[in-house]
């Protein structure tokens, strides 16, 4: 059971704060819901009775956040060469709700994007995984979204240069993360 003010993670959506617990009558069924305030002023309703079943958990603590950052500093883990299998494997990692697995997806797809680019589906997955990762680290580290996004990018860029730079032709490296939603700039 969670309480108002608790910082929790809703797998595939990210981290937020329980704003309230309310009784709602939806389709003639009265249930209690956690009203979760997510980044960007988005609110999500999660039935309290199903919260654990869908994988809702408390956010990580500061020492766990450091371990997550450590994952971004490592070399990529082995991924399937078949993009369809790779996509399914990464989706399973994200659905698990395990922040370490999400960090692994962010690092691996970021490396792949820098090496040779990603398919549209994988770009969208990378964007979603980053949002999930950043939202939890913001709450765990008590930092701003901008600070955490910059930290994640810096760690990925540093580890990519350390582990992959000599294997990649400089002109083929994508140096900037371009969000899938088209809000990136071309400067």
Q: Is the pLDDT of residue 186 over 50?
A: no
Give me the pLDDT at residue 142, please. Answer: 92
User: Could you give the CA distance from residue 44 to residue 125 in angstroms, rounded to a whole number?
Assistant: 20
pTM of structure: 0.84
Which domains can be identified in the chain, with CATH numbers?
7-58 (2.40.10.170), 62-172 (1.20.58.1290)
Confidence band of 146 (pLDDT split at 50, 70, 90): very high
pLDDT of residue 36: 95
- Bridge partners (DSSP) of residue 42 are 38
Q: Give the pairing type, strands 7-10 and 29-38.
A: unpaired
DSSP string, 86-118: HHHHHHHHHHTT-HHHHHHHHHHHHHHHHHH--
Q: What's the CA gap between 71 and 53, in Å, rounded?
A: 27
**102-138 pLDDT, tens per residue?**
999 999 999 999 998 899 999 999 999 999 999 999 9
pLDDT digits (tens, 9 = 90+) for 51-88: 999 999 999 999 999 999 999 999 999 999 888 999 99
If pLDDT is split at 50, 70 and 90, which confidence band does 168 have?
Answer: low
Residue 166 pLDDT grade (very low, low, confident, very high; cuts 50, 70, 90): low
């Amino acid at each position: 059971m969670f309480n108002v003010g608790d910082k929790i993670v809703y797998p595939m959506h990210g981290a937020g704060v329980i704003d309230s617990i309310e009784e709602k009558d939806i389709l003639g069924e009265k249930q209690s819901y956690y009203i979760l305030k997510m980044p960007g002023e988005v609110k999500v309703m999660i039935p309290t009775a199903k919260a654990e079943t869908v994988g809702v958990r408390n956010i990580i603590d500061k020492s766990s956040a450091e371990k997550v950052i450590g994952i971004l500093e490592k070399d990529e883990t082995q991924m399937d060469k078949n993009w369809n299998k790779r996509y399914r494997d990464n989706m399973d990692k994200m659905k698990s709700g395990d922040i370490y697995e999400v960090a692994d997806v962010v690092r691996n797809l970021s490396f792949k994007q820098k090496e040779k680019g990603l398919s549209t589906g994988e770009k969208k997955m990378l964007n979603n995984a980053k949002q999930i990762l950043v939202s939890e680290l913001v709450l765990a580290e008590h930092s701003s979204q901008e600070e955490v996004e910059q930290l994640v990018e810096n760690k990925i860029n540093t580890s990519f240069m350390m582990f992959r730079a000599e294997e990649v032709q400089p002109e083929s490296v994508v140096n900037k993360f371009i969000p899938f939603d088209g809000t990136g700039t071309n400067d």
